[in-house]
Structure 1
């Protein structure tokens, strides 16, 4: 798996790159704000796992790469703060998002819109975990329990500190 690398825009409208997150353990998850199942569950687990870290939570950054810029850009700031103030929402142009998704072998596709205009974005549910140097260290499955995620993060923090 490749190192952490991207150029996107955060939920406050600021351009960011992977370099902005060096020095922290970084969790990266791809999804979209209108997702009703996978995304809320995954982001809730990640937020809970980092809260369980207590004082060590400041060593971890959660990045939510929103792959539906048509709908996500308008609501991303409110969406990410619902889970935890430490969650960073990222989005970009279709070209940027496709490049990042391709880099990490993440698939996403848009279903045909319903009559009311609503559409679903199919996407994978894995979470990529990078060490403070931006090297991928773990891949968290969407079925992982919060306690296991917390334990994995504690172990990675310990390995990174010593």
Structure 2
């Protein structure tokens, strides 16, 4: 009987130690993403717009690429140029991997942002950037799809105007699935880290 109790005690201790070991191992693993994980909370990438070459494009044209969707406009005085410059540095840090990325800059000011205007603007920042425009209704529908927002401010005396808009960067994997959301507060290192995971074979699913 004593031997039986001892055997049971050893068995229980073994199970307990194994459980603690697995728990510690799990706690030591860092979370895979450093940006906000939106997997399952946002719809797949879907649109039909006009690119900065004047060609009609859809989300299917960017399948196989990790896409960074950003809403902005070329007359933006600060946030847009800062964001594009920020992403240019990220692309440089990615090196050759950046070939697998496309930055989709969707204009929330389609009246002024013609394809030619967009092309001159985005190409000045990074070769991986593509300007996209469309009808006001198409643009509005796309912003609503991703819970973004924009508002045209009252015109100024010289006829110019500003557009207030959301500043998030929506990141989709090569299959067009929404994966991550970056904000202006997120560092370049965080973006580089997570894009590495999405671009490398065997990335986190």
The aligned residue for residue 137 of structure 1 is 179
Whether the 8 Å CA contact 1:132–1:160 is kept in 2: the answer is: no
The answer to whether structure 1 residue 109 and structure 2 residue 109 are counterparts is: no
2:111 is matched with 70
Shift of 1:114: 0.5
Q: Distance in 2 between matches of 1:118 and 1:2?
A: 35
Structure 2 unaligned regions, length at least 5 = 1-41
Superposed structure 1 runs of 4+ greater than 2 Å apart: 158-162
Deviation at 1:128, TM superposition (A): 0.2
Could you list the per-position Cα deviations for residues 67-114 of structure 1 after superposition, in whole angstroms to 9, with x for gaps in the alignment?
Answer: 101111151110011101221000000011011111111100100101
The alpha carbon displacement at 1:158 in A equals 2.3
Q: Calculate the TM-score normalised by the size of structure 1.
A: 0.96
Q: Greater strand share, 1 or 2? A: 1
Match of 1:151 among 174, 190, 193: 193
SS in 2 for 1:98: helix
Q: Note closer, same or farther for the CA distance 1:85–1:102 as it changes in structure 2 (3 Å cut).
A: same
Q: Cα RMSD between the aligned structures?
A: 1.3
SS of 1:33's equivalent in the other structure is coil
Question: SS of the counterpart of 2:154?
Answer: coil
Quick one: which of 67, 82, 98 aligns to 1:57? 98
State the number of aligned residues. 162
